Amino acid sequence: MTERRHGDRNFRSAEGFNPRISEQAGTFLKTTMIHQPHDSSESRPRATAEDPFPEGDALWDTLGRAVPQELDGWFAARTLARARRSVEAKPGWVYLLRRAFATLALGGIAILLALVWIGREAPQPASVSVAEASGQGSQSAPEVVAMENSQPAATPFDEAFEFLAASNSSTTEDVWAVY
């Protein structure tokens, strides 16, 4: 008696409709009371609080125009291979331990290189004591001369040591005063 139209999502079945009414009355109901949409907007479902994103409304159809993204046929094989590798891979802590050792080793090498470089750049006379330089006690003048000979050129410090050695003065203050 009533045919359901394709796409008529708001169609309401004739609940309460008495199928035993006369054919004439049925025809009347069909043409006047049963919802028969005339345009697409009328036939679309509308968003409600219960169904804020209904299937088949205008927004639904428009969003459906987005091009579907698909993968190639080898995706599953690639994923399976990756899954296998992930299971066979070493546990994370082994990796972290190896990384820690590598970092420590590299850090140690860097510190050693830095120390060697600093050692090469440091001034040589700083380690010579005043007592040794002045020749007091067990030290003698020839040692000072030997030290002088080891230097490529005489510096004010050397001259101060030489002067103080000659004058038998031994204190640090004396050395600095002459320098």
Partner 1 sequence: MTAVAGGDEPAFATLVRRHQHAVYGTIVKMLGDPIEAEDLAQVAFVRVYRAAAGYRATAQFRTWLFTIVRNLVFNEHRRRGRAVLETLEGNTHDDSRPPREIPDAAAKSPAGALVEREMVEAVEKSILHLPEQQRMAVVLRRYDEFSYEEIAEVMGTTVPSVKSLLFRARETLKEALRKYLGE
Binding site for partner 1 (CB under 8 A): 41, 47, 49-50, 52-53, 55, 58-60, 62-71, 75-80, 82-84, 86-87
Minimum CB distance to partner 1 smaller for 15 or for 70: 70
Minimum CB distance to partner 1 smaller for 15 or for 88: 88
- How many angstroms separate the CA atoms of 122 and 120, rounded? 6
Minimum CB distance to partner 1 smaller for 77 or for 116: 77
Minimum CB distance to partner 1 smaller for 40 or for 151: 40
Contact status, residue 2 vs residue 34, Cβ threshold 8 Å: yes
- As to burial, measured by CB atoms within 10 angstroms (0-12 exposed, 13-18 middle, 19+ buried), residue 131 is middle
CB of 5 to partner 1, least distance (A): 20
CB of 78 to partner 1, least distance (A): 7
CB of 71 to partner 1, least distance (A): 5
Structure tokens at 113: 């290189």
Contact status, residue 147 vs residue 159, Cβ threshold 8 Å: no
CB of 61 to partner 1, least distance (A): 8
Tokens 């040591």 sit at which residue? 161
Minimum CB distance to partner 1 smaller for 50 or for 121: 50
Minimum CB distance to partner 1 smaller for 23 or for 39: 39
CB of 10 to partner 1, least distance (A): 16
- How many angstroms separate the CA atoms of 44 and 90, rounded? 56
CB of 95 to partner 1, least distance (A): 16
Work out the number of other CB atoms within 10 angstroms of the CB of residue 148.
14
Tell which residue, 168, 177, 169, 127, has the closest CA to residue 147.
127
Angle between helices 141-150 and 156-167 (to 10 degrees): 170
